[in-house]
Structure 1
Amino acid sequence: MNFEPYLVRTPQELKEASLRHGGLEVTHQLNSKEAHISASRWTRRHLIAYRLLNRREQAFLPVLRPGHDTVLGNNPRALYSGSEGELMRLPDGFFWVALSRAVRSEAPEAIRSHPQRHRSQVEHPGFMNSSLEIMGSSSPTIPSASEFGSDHSEPFGEDENDARRSKPEEVTVHLAISFLQLALHLILVQDENGQMEVRPRVERKMTLASTMDGALIAAEDDGGICLMRRVPNGWKEEHPFLALLEAKRSFRDIRFDDETNKGNPMISDETLAQYLGEAVITWRGRQDLLAHEVFLVAATSTFVRFIHFRFGTSYLEYLDAEDVATQQAIAEDPEKDTYVHMDSSEWFNLQSPEGRRNALCHILALLNWHEAHRSTSSQVVLE
């Protein structure tokens, strides 16, 4: 069975998707089980009911386009064969250790080749990349020697991806947090005498949001980027959601595009719905901190991408509607924006200098965006 990615870009396409799913239009039409499950179990039906418009991925998130031009060096020679002690003694050693754990194969004899698999050109060159598994489906896969995504510095293919499937998700989380530490504490110059500091958030955060019937829906991230305020006895978390982090261990399905000579991981409905669910529930549950936007850092193996969710000006009114008829009327009002608008970057491989540079640009641009929009009561001072 071929998997068709969620390619709803416009309101008209959302209506067409609704018709293909029995006329599902609004959240009140979800059954009781669907309406109350946690974000980690959301499906394509949630993508439709919560009105996600998923725009094409871009090399740089439009909202963060100003960016930052910082160049990182090549990988150390000991990355693949050196001891962790050797790597730790290098400059930025904690990051190289985290990267080595993610890229080294602990059981090279288990790497499999699949010469019998059929490979064909990708059917949808505009689809969004992802890391989610598609249970019970199959699709063309990428040759081992093919280059991956937009990062041309480091080859990555099916065999490498297979070798990383056995690594626990915590390896990905550790690498992502280590890169955030590198970017925020060793590359970004913050005011050492100031009252505010941006940090990686290692702790997971669970957010609860209520539904119209009083039930609670839960969403838990894998960490993120937070803003801390200095207090007399130490530091206090001022804003825990400058960005959410969601990690996956490996890519399940990679398709090869003959036109671009790139491998593209497909995004499953379940992963995309999980991203959306975490954004919606966190936004809904923390209206005191979040206005109309949520940023999410998606990490898979050694790759990261940046996702921007923007909630329409009437989206909260849509969610708070008391019944199906009221919700449908709000959704059909052409004067109201009741959609979730999603933009995403390409995948950046932290295994390569180019990937690290692009990811770093996004992180620094993200902080500049928050400062410019005054999402907190105080600003982070960048020198």
Structure 2
Amino acid sequence: MLPRIPYDDLIPLPDMAQHQAYSAQDYDDLGAASKLHGDLQVLLQLTPRELASSASRWTLRHLIAYRLLVRPEAAFLPVLRTDHDQRCPVCSPGGHQYYPQTIDRARTDTLTGTTPRNLCLKTEHELMQLPHGVLWVALARAARPELTGQPRAYPRRERKQAQREGYVNSADAIPESSSPIEESSSEFDADTSHVDDDEHDVRRNKPEEVTANLVSSFLQQALSVCLLQHPDGLTAQVEVRPRVERRMTIAVVTGHVSITAEDDGGICLMRRTDLGWQMSHPYWALLEAKRAFDRVDFDGNKGAYVPTVSDSNLAQYLGEAIITWKGNQSLLPHGVFLIAATNTFMRFTKFSFSRDYLRYLDATTVGAQLEMISDPGKEVFVSMQSSTWFNLQSSDGRRAALCHILALLRWHDAEGSMHHGGDADPDDGDGEDGPSSSYEVNDDTESEMDDGDDMDIGE
């Protein structure tokens, strides 16, 4: 049996490259990362403390040992892109008989229109009087700089003119979309959502709860105000809602090690019962909120400031996805969606697990794990695809985020998640088959959604 890879608590191991975020896209990249970190290849080569650490304490070494392969960011999440291009009600004014969703056009136009003028200077009372007032209050809390009464010094940085700030213009992310409808009210003004590294530093002290509240408020507006989940007026039997409660999952790896993961909320499916509403599927999407990016860099090619995610944050996203998937197999047979949020930014990710990955997690010896990853007939990896970051301070960012949320619901309906009910126990994922959904879907437009995970992973 090979020995465990030693881990020095006092001397941090080098990154894959200086200031280079983890970006392994195939087995060759994984091998290169392994060599840079003491030939770390499999789970049981982590130290006992590393192996048993909760998902919130995962590091770059976990990214390697859990065999994460990442795809380049895309303007629209690849697994949802085709469906979005064909069936998005936001991007096709006037609607179409085959669109499976109905939206309140006026409220959607307001949500995706211009941001309230002087957002951070208004009182919360003033913001609450506006349409989507709850969202504007949450957005102002996240965007407003912390004023402590003490002057704070920042290093002088060269300012660069940016066209946009760390999110993709909806004209690029959403083909054939029109510009958001302009508000005639003087309460609204052109977007002022430019966020460079200095401004991002000012927000670093914001607690994660501020970010989580902002995303939950946006989800509420998208799911309960813009989307008409029951346009026929019949009594609702199921409803998709934001999940504000945190959920903890405990899963066992390598046959005996229990690992915990706790999310910051997400999107869930609720079902009506005789006693009220019951959470039928808590994990339509997980939410993981962070207070700050590693840094915000200016990308000359894009003409924008682009957020950079640290390896530790990426490892926490991975840990949340793996442990939740492992502990809830019956609810998550097709992988895990995770909404990553930092301050006023959010992006959508999808984690997919190869056919032999569960056996890899359950293997109890180093030799067995090494044999699996060396066998060309086996696939042992997690793939992650992700959208670019969308800034909820901008109309473009809110529009792209709304389109993702609606596409995510259509994906779950196509995969049958709407019809999977029961009491979802976060520790074991067992549930009962529930009644069929009353969510409006046109069965004549069933389409095969490409998961977008046909990756060239090398030999």
Tell me the TM-score normalised to structure 2 length: 0.74
Residue from 227, 250, 260 that aligns with 2:302? 260
Residue from 291, 294, 308 that aligns with 2:350? 308
CA distance in 2, matches of 1:151, 1:211: 38
Q: Do the aligned residues in 2 keep the contact of 1:304 with 1:349 (CA within 8 Å)?
A: yes
Query: Deviating runs (4+, > 6 A) in structure 1?
Result: none
Q: Establish whether residue 114 from structure 1 lines up as the match of residue 129 from structure 2.
A: no
The aligned residue for residue 293 of structure 1 is 335
Residue from 190, 203, 214 that aligns with 1:175? 214
What secondary structure does 1:184 align onto? helix
CA distance in 1, matches of 2:268, 2:396: 25
Cα distance, 1:78 vs. partner? 5.0
The aligned residue for residue 128 of structure 1 is none
5 Å-filtered alignment, 1:248-287, equals 248-287=290-329
Q: Which amino acid counterpart does residue 46 of structure 2 have in structure 1?
A: L
Cα distance, 1:201 vs. partner? 0.3
Residue from 100, 103, 107 that aligns with 2:140? 100
Task: Classify 1:273/1:333 alpha carbon distance in 2 versus 1 (closer, same or farther; 3 Å).
Answer: same
Q: Establish whether residue 85 from structure 1 lines up as the match of residue 125 from structure 2.
A: yes
Cα distance, 1:372 vs. partner? 0.2
Post-superposition CA distance 1:307-337 (Å, at most 9, x none):
1100001110111112111111111222222
5 Å-filtered alignment, 1:187-206, equals 187-191=226-230, 193-206=235-248
Give the total of aligned pairs.
Answer: 359
Q: Which amino acid counterpart does residue 148 of structure 1 have in structure 2?
A: E
Tell me whether 372-381 or 275-284 shows the greater mean CA deviation.
372-381
Post-superposition CA distance 1:164-197 (Å, at most 9, x none):
1122211111101000000000011112622110
CA distance in 2, matches of 1:111, 1:74: 31
CA distance in 2, matches of 1:103, 1:111: 17
Residue from 184, 190, 209 that aligns with 2:223? 184
What secondary structure does 1:341 align onto? strand
Task: Classify 1:111/1:175 alpha carbon distance in 2 versus 1 (closer, same or farther; 3 Å).
Answer: farther
Post-superposition CA distance 1:229-267 (Å, at most 9, x none):
100010111000000000111223122222222222222
Report the aligned-residue RMSD.
2.0
The aligned residue for residue 25 of structure 2 is 9
The structure with the greater share of residues assigned to strand is: 1
Query: Percent identity among equivalent residues?
Result: 52
What secondary structure does 1:308 align onto? strand
Q: Establish whether residue 51 from structure 1 lines up as the match of residue 67 from structure 2.
A: yes
Task: Classify 1:318/1:215 alpha carbon distance in 2 versus 1 (closer, same or farther; 3 Å).
Answer: closer
Cα distance, 1:215 vs. partner? 2.8
Q: Establish whether residue 351 from structure 1 lines up as the match of residue 393 from structure 2.
A: yes
CA distance in 2, matches of 1:380, 1:18: 49
CA distance in 1, matches of 2:114, 2:44: 52
Cα distance, 1:380 vs. partner? 5.8
CA distance in 2, matches of 1:175, 1:208: 27
Post-superposition CA distance 1:362-383 (Å, at most 9, x none):
0000010000011342446137
Q: Establish whether residue 150 from structure 1 lines up as the match of residue 200 from structure 2.
A: no
CA distance in 2, matches of 1:219, 1:312: 21
The aligned residue for residue 341 of structure 1 is 383
CA distance in 2, matches of 1:380, 1:246: 29
Bigger Rg over Cα = 2
The aligned residue for residue 135 of structure 1 is none
Tell me the TM-score normalised to structure 1 length: 0.89
The aligned residue for residue 116 of structure 2 is 76
Cα distance, 1:273 vs. partner? 0.4
CA distance in 1, matches of 2:438, 2:388: 27
CA distance in 1, matches of 2:140, 2:24: 38
Question: Which sections of structure 1, spanning at least 5 residues, go unmatched?
Answer: 120-141
Cα distance, 1:113 vs. partner? 4.1
